[in-house]
Structure 1
Amino acid sequence: MKLKSTYDDYFLRAVKRFDSDVSGQRTKAFEMFKELEKVGHVGSIKYLGKCYFEGIGCERKNDKARDYYLLSIALGCYKADPGPSSYEVLRMIDDEIMDAIDVVENARPSDEGKNISCEDMYSAYVNTVIYGSQKTLAWYRLGNMYYDGIFVEQNKKWAIYFYRRAFTTGGMERYYEADNALRLGKCFYYGDGIGKDPVLAKYFLRHAGHILWRYPEDDATALCTSLLDSLGKLDNTYLFDGKDYMEEDDYIEDTASEWLYHIPEYI
């Protein structure tokens, strides 16, 4: 498999095997979806969740199913195809715990005298994504857990899409909103978990900077300012659109909007 068109053909063949009534065909489908995951094929994500949830071609593992269904929601491809929807499956896996996020947010693991495990935190944040009102904060916290490998297997690529979901959902406390944007900006600046992109780096760093100026003594403010200064004004080669040059601000906004709200085919 070398070209995206070949990956897409391979995905369709995997789906055909998945829909088969023959056990051996479904086992092969699972193996094919795992191969597609390695190249970042988004279509494989929800199918892998279904495989792990129902034990199709693999041992049934709710923890693994939860991971893939959660990512499918973050990516925006959570509808019932294959059914049920990602939200419905997560409701089957996790019982509703009202106000779970408030419990863990008020007792972080580092607090003395508190006994909240990372597993409890993870469950509370997933639960909040499904049932709660503080979904944005939950996405941000989940992004941190995947970025740092806390309780879950470290996966910076996945973390970026949890941060993206937090950014597009909105409604977080301003400092957390700034930190979420700063984390995205750093990832694009350094190529950490995703390809380097000075345009997107500048967009997110600038968004963070609009908030962080209120915290002049904070280390995050100094870092944000330093990275923005090093980017400077974008080169005209980034501003070419068709046959016309665009204003830098317009180009940055257009590029960011496309990345934020477009369901990717590959990650």
Structure 2
Amino acid sequence: MSFELFLQASKYNYSIAQVYLGKCYNDGYGVECNKDLAFNWYQKSVENGSIIGEFYLGNCYEFGTGIVKDIIRSVYWYEKAAKNGNMTAKLYLADCYRLGKGVEKDEIKAFEYYENLARQEIADAQYQLGNCFYNGVGTKIDETFESHKILAEQGDINAKFRLGYCYDEGIGTEINKVKAFELYKVASEKGNNNSLYNLSFLYELGEGVDKDDKKAFELIKKLAKKGDLSAKYKLAYYYYKGIGTETNKSKAFELYLAEKEYLDAQFQLGYYYNKGIGTEVNKSKAFELYKIAAEKEDSNAQNQLGFYYVSGIGTEKDLEKAFYWFNKAAENGNVVAQYNIGESYELGSEIDNNLSKANYWYHKAAEDNNKFALYKLGEFYELGKGIRKNEVRAFEFYKKSADQGFINSQYKLGHLYSYGTQIDINKEKAFDLYKLAAIGGNVDAQKCLAFLYKQGERTEKR
């Protein structure tokens, strides 16, 4: 019904209706999803003077929605919308300046945007401003602490929050959770919402104050009622986990559902539909939501979408599309996807076998200490798969993985201690590792452990 009304109004050049019609086509709401038509209607809305349409047009160019991806054009439309007062466009523009996307990198300009938006209680801007203070982006850390201290002493409420954050995170000073709590409390009582949010964390964790989950819940609920998006997500998490309240997964689901326009909520809703949390299991809806989030460059959603295509969950099985989304997620830094893409190249399941590329992606995942990738690298070096054999390197990778409790690596490490040629043989260490892996369910380790028991070599029967 909404789609039909928007369509009728759009024919009379009502720009806001054209924007909503574009969103219907983009999200598949009341009509089949069509990104090209979404772009066309956003463009028509702009021709009719829509400011929010300018933002959506920029968004289309940034992510290649219905049009060839063009970061420079996206910045152009973000700037147009920002000059016309669109807050979301200002936030996206700040990100562009911070990262140098489609524009010359300018951290000071990004900081200024975040600071101005944060003063207007834009939660995402407050979060990014905190990151700027923490990492010294567009500002100097030491100067930041001193300037906040001076302004806080003069009674500036926002400065009290920022000073509290400095004490909370140890920015320009030593960490002092008690001082952070005190400053957050004063600022929150004067209406600073960001302080209210951080106070809930301190109550939840028991940092700077006695742990009080109920108080944490009350503060987040209060902030969520004010419309704070981050607080709504946190409240959903509290209901999901039963923190400070009874577990209520239906309420958690409803909170995410109410914010389904936003990226984080779209991913979480996909997860809830996938697992049947607070609602019935619906793999098709989960797929649709993951796809929307994936197209907005959410790497977790991209990886999940790849898994859905591999397994044919909520959609038809399509190994080519699976590889595409795994690859997108991997390029966006998703460690699980980096492992998945490495496995695809190793096994030749979704793409032609290529051990060199498999080795590259396993190394990328291993940089973040992924235990599965570390195990695979150990295997590559042990067996000489696509690289020269090197038992010492294999041992190093297996050990890093085994230290994280991965039973297959524990078994392999035990094997090298038993039969290694470049590693000193140590039957006692081999026994201990086999035992760990065997308890975890590794069948090969169980067989080796039985053999060592039978032989009784260099170990007691324990």
TM-score bracket relative to the smaller structure: 0.3 to 0.5
TM-score, normalised relative to structure 1: 0.43
When you count helix as a share of all residues, which structure comes out higher? 2
Flag the structure with more relative contact order, 1 or 2, with Cα contacts below 8 A and sequence separation at least 6.
Answer: 1
Which has the higher Rg, Structure 1 or Structure 2? 2
